[in-house]
């Protein structure tokens, strides 16, 4: 097994992240590069980097650090934690970085720590939670609402959509702790030992004995494994709907394209693994069935052989890495695009590409950058933005516009603290500055 490609990949990814990358981040990037893996990618990476003098593994924070930052890493994390704790509420990553740099200006200048390193520390800290709006909070703050979220579901008595759970949770919370439905969704998604997803945005309590299937196809597979025999689609659907709140037709839609299921006759399904086991045990296959099962076994063996070679060679690694860079252009070729200067918008999926970065935008943020791109060089007033994006008037909404512009700065600008693309015209509005 060649692990040199993993060494190269690991070092490059850590450097590009700013000098720090935690285990979860590393796993996510590896899966994006290799698409599918059947091995422990993070475990292999840890082995691959263990002999590299320029990389250090920090057990406390479960993160890899460039050697030049190792002696400062834990003290920076502790200072960031204290700085955020003193805010008493979530703030943006750049605000947290600025507070930290202002408080530790002297020591930062002596140690030559970069702004990117500080941001990398923020994004890799397991004690921090980053919400839908990009604000950083302490993980322990989510526990302030945990009891109320559990009580809300117990009062409902059955799985419910996260928006309904949020409504009941907020009814139990004091005014200063009320939160958005999307934050409630994020909290529940991070606590699978307590909250189980049983549908599109639908959650229940693990204490109810709900199955954490992950998706509908897995739920149907569980039903068939428990039955250990073939079942009619209506029977499968009925049993899946005991724990999943979805449209009944969604169960068939999930099963049909999944290779794990075999339709042995109209509307009757069995797991492929059970079909092979049963026919081999009973010896009831005719010649045609024998060929079919042997074909299945051959297919499985071929797939296993193919997967066993997923550890890339050096050439394969370079191809995979280059594939990441070409993904942007491939998507642009197959999507409706709107381009102004260095900014490309993929209209259908609300994705923005700029300076090699890709980000899916929230609807209002997307409409705002589209408005600016339609009027390059012209100052768009606050009133015009509010009318065009939020379809209402009112001068008291300037802060709403500012917050969405700050999100765009985070995505589009090389340095969000000194924006060059989207310029603020003090007291008037904003202008897209294309040179």
d(CA 122, CA 361): 22
pLDDT tens digits, 296-319:
445 545 544 444 444 445 455 455
Better-scored residue on pLDDT, 107 or 206 = 206
Per the listing, tokens 């060059």 go with: 420
For residue 264, what pLDDT band results from cuts at 50, 70 and 90? confident
Reply yes or no on domain 143-208 having CATH 1.10.10: yes
pLDDT of residue 369: 93
Are residues 220 and 234 in contact, defined by beta-carbon separation less than 8 angstroms? no
Q: pTM here?
A: 0.38
pLDDT tens digits, 29-61:
877 777 655 667 777 788 888 888 889 999 899
For residue 326, what pLDDT band results from cuts at 50, 70 and 90? low
Are residues 136 and 410 in contact, defined by beta-carbon separation less than 8 angstroms? no
For residue 142, what pLDDT band results from cuts at 50, 70 and 90? low
Better-scored residue on pLDDT, 22 or 246 = 22
Q: Which residues contact 141 (CB under 8 A, 6 or more apart)?
A: 90, 129
Q: The domain 337-432 is classified under which CATH number: 1.10.10.10, 3.40.190.10, 3.40.50.300, 1.20.140.10?
A: 1.10.10.10
For the segment 336-349, the average pLDDT, to the nearest whole number, is: 81
Give the helix, strand, coil percentages of the chain, each rounded to 5: 55, 15, 30
Q: Which residues contact 215 (CB under 8 A, 6 or more apart)?
A: 254
User: Which pair of tokens denotes residue 353?
Assistant: 């590409």
CA distances from 63 to 57, 58, 92 (A): 6, 5, 22
- 269 dihedral zone (left: phi>0; alpha: psi -120 to 50; beta): beta
Q: Which residues contact 168 (CB under 8 A, 6 or more apart)?
A: 152, 153, 155, 156
Q: Which residues contact 293 (CB under 8 A, 6 or more apart)?
A: 275, 276, 279, 280, 285
Q: What are the beta bridge partners of residue 431?
A: 423
pLDDT of residue 290: 47
User: Which pair of tokens denotes residue 53?
Assistant: 């003098």
105-109, 142-146, 325-329, 409-413, range with the lowest pLDDT: 325-329
132-141, 236-245, 325-334, range with the lowest pLDDT: 325-334
What stretch(es) of the chain map to CATH 1.10.10.10?
Answer: 337-432
116-130, 343-357, 372-386, 390-404, range with the lowest pLDDT: 390-404
User: Which pair of tokens denotes residue 331?
Assistant: 């998507």
Is the confidence at residue 109, as pLDDT, over 70? no
């Amino acid at each position: 097994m060649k692990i040199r490609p993993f060494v190269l990949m690991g070092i490059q990814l850590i450097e590009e992240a700013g000098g720090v990358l935690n285990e979860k981040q590393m796993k996510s990037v590896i899966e994006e590069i290799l698409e599918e893996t059947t091995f422990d990618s993070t475990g292999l990476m840890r082995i691959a980097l263990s002999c590299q003098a320029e990389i250090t593994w920090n057990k406390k924070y479960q993160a890899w650090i460039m050697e030049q930052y190792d002696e400062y890493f834990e003290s920076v994390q502790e200072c960031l934690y204290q700085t955020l704790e003193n805010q008493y509420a979530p703030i943006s990553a750049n605000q947290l970085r600025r507070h930290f740099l202002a408080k530790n200006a002297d020591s930062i200048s002596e140690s030559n720590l970069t702004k990117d390193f500080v941001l990398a520390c923020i994004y890799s800290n397991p004690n921090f939670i980053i919400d839908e709006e990009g604000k950083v909070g302490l993980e322990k703050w989510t526990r302030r609402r945990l009891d109320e979220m559990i009580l809300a579901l117990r009062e409902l008595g059955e799985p419910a959509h996260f928006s309904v759970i949020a409504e009941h949770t907020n009814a139990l919370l004091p005014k200063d702790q009320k939160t958005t439905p999307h934050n409630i969704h994020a909290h529940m998604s991070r606590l699978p030992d307590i909250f189980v997803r049983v549908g599109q945005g639908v959650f229940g309590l693990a204490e109810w004995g709900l199955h954490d299937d992950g998706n509908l196809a897995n739920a149907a597979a569980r039903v068939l494994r428990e039955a250990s025999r073939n079942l009619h689609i209506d029977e499968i659907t009925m049993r899946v709907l005991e724990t999943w709140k979805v449209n009944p037709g969604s169960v068939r839609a999930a099963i049909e394209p999944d290779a794990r299921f075999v339709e042995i006759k109209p509307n009757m399904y069995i797991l492929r693994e059970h079909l092979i086991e049963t026919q081999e045990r009973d010896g009831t296959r005719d010649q045609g069935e024998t060929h079919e099962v042997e074909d299945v076994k051959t297919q499985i063996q071929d797939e296993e052989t193919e997967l066993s070679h997923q550890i890339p060679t050096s050439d394969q690694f370079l191809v995979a890495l280059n594939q990441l860079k070409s993904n942007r252009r491939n998507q642009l070729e197959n999507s409706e695009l709107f381009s102004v200067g260095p900014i490309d918008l993929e209209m259908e999926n609300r994705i923005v590409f700029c300076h090699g970065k890709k980000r899916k935008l929230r609807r209002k943020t997307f409409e705002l950058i589209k408005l600016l791109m339609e009027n390059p060089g012209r100052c768009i007033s606050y009133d015009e933005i509010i009318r065009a994006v939020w379809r209402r008037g009112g001068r008291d909404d300037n802060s709403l516009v500012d917050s969405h512009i700050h999100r765009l700065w985070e995505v589009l600008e090389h340095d969000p603290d000194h924006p060059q693309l989207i310029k603020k015209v003090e007291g008037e509005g904003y202008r897209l500055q294309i040179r």
